[in-house]
């Protein structure tokens, strides 16, 4: 059995080398497909990071009237925390709001002078509400509209943020669906290319296959080298695609960080190198096996 397996693997490598330029062309297409696949993975990582950062900057703010007792504000906070859609609520008292405002505008002398002339704190206490998902803000807003404590509200900012929140939800859905469709499309192209390569290999070796049949070679012995050839394509393409992507990511990482400061792409890639390599090998070998199996079943009648 080991001898047969060795011969199958050996014949697979011989078929790979024998096809020469055809093998190189097929490898190039699979490498391109794997680079696109890897690019989609990285794009999804960047998109998720950017959208998470943007989502963290969006919330619903409730501003309370100046005569609202703090106990009522805390009761409102406790009531909202029971909602499953609420991820976090931050209470900002009037004094803290004034400190934040002063710190934010400390370099603006006109604003600082105006605040000094005011006898009372003009800012309102507020609750900043964050949801788990941007789509859930509309549910929280509906709860606030029907709440018994609504009479204490001076202003709710959901109306101002509704458009941004809705667009954010659409961006997330579109990015996820678009990435999935593109992966499927690229996978089909890679399967077709490898399929045609294996088909041509079978056609060019038809006389040799006929002789093997006459001398009593088993079906697995005849089919095996073509499956091995598909695995070789996927393995080599996976390794080369990672080798190409590494330097590209290294040089692109500083520029990406300008737009998405929350992630260092090169550090992320380096720390997850074996995970990326595993994905590439799994995807590449999977494409090779599927393509060769289809070609064998269609053109190698045994």
- What pLDDT was estimated at residue 240? 93
pLDDT of residue 296: 72
At 156 the pLDDT is 83
**Distance in angstroms (rounded) separating the CA atoms of residues 63 and 157:** 8
170: enclosing H helix or E strand:
helix 158-204
60 Ramachandran zone, left/alpha/beta (phi>0; psi -120 to 50): beta
Phi first, then psi, for residue 55 (nearest 5°) are -65, -35
* Residue 61 or residue 196, greater confidence: 61
Tokens 């593109």 found at: 182
The pLDDT of residue 4 is 64
Average pLDDT over residues 267-271: 92
Question: In this predicted structure, what is the pLDDT of residue 104?
Answer: 79
Strands, E assignment, the chain = 60-64, 86-92, 126-131, 153-156
pLDDT at 88 over 80: yes
> Do 23 and 17 contact (CB within 8 A), yes or no?
yes
Average pLDDT value for the chain:
79
Percentage, residues of the chain above pLDDT 90: 11
Residues 6 or more apart in contact with residue 36 via CB below 8 angstroms: 182, 186
Q: What is the pLDDT of residues 110-123, one digit of tens each?
A: 776 776 776 677 78
Range 59-167 classified under CATH 1.10.8.50: no
Name the residue among 138, 151, 142, 136 with its Cα closest to residue 76.
151
Residue in the structure block whose two tokens are 């695609």: 241
C-alpha torsion angle, residues 205, 208, 212, 214 (rounded to 10): 120
**Which among 223, 221, 220 has a CA at the least distance from the CA of 298?**
223
**pLDDT tens digits, 5-58:** 677 677 667 776 776 677 787 788 788 888 888 888 888 788 778 777 776 777
Q: Is 196 or 127 the better-scoring residue by pLDDT?
A: 127
pLDDT in tens, 150-190: 888 888 886 555 566 567 667 767 877 777 787 788 778 77
pTM reported for the whole predicted model: 0.65
**pLDDT of 248 above 80:** yes
Which residue intervals of the chain are DSSP H helices? 2-18, 21-56, 70-80, 94-104, 109-117, 137-146, 158-204, 206-214, 219-259, 265-271, 273-299
Question: What is the residue extent of each domain of the chain?
Answer: 2-54+170-299, 59-167
Q: Which range, of 76-80, 99-103, 275-279, averages the lowest pLDDT?
A: 99-103
Mean pLDDT value across residues 199-205: 69
Give me the mean pLDDT over the 70-97 stretch: 88
CA distance 62 to 87: 16
Q: Which is higher by pLDDT, 52 or 289?
A: 289
Give the pLDDT of residue 298.
67
């Amino acid at each position: 059995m080991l001898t047969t397996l060795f011969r199958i693997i050996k014949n697979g490598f011989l078929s790979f080398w024998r096809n020469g330029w055809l093998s190189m062309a097929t490898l190039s297409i699979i490498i391109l497909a794997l680079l696109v696949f890897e690019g989609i993975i990285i794009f999804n990582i960047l998109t998720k990071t950017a959208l998470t950062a943007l989502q963290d900057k969006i919330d619903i703010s409730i501003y309370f009237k100046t005569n609202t007792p703090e106990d009522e504000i805390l009761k409102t906070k406790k009531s909202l925390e029971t909602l499953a859609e609420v991820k976090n609520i931050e209470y900002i008292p009037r004094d803290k709001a004034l400190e934040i405002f002063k710190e934010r505008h400390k370099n603006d002398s006109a604003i600082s002078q105006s605040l000094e002339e005011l006898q009372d704190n003009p800012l309102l206490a507020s609750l900043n509400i964050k949801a788990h998902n941007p789509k859930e803000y509309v549910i929280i807003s509906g709860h606030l509209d029907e709440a018994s404590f609504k009479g204490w509200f001076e202003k709710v900012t959901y109306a101002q943020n509704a458009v941004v929140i809705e667009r954010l939800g659409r961006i997330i859905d579109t990015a996820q669906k678009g990435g999935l469709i593109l992966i499927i499309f690229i996978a089909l192209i890679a399967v077709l290319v490898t399929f045609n390569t294996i088909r041509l290999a079978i056609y060019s070796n038809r006389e040799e296959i006929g002789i093997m049949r006459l001398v009593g070679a088993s079906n697995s012995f005849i089919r095996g080298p073509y499956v091995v050839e598909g695995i070789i394509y996927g393995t080599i393409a996976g390794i080369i695609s990672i080798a190409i992507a590494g330097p590209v990511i290294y040089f692109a990482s500083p520029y990406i960080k300008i737009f998405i400061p929350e992630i260092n792409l090169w550090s992320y890639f380096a720390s997850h190198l074996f995970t990326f390599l595993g994905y590439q090998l799994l995807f590449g070998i999977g494409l090779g096996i599927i393509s060769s199996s289809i070609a064998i079943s269609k053109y190698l009648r045994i």
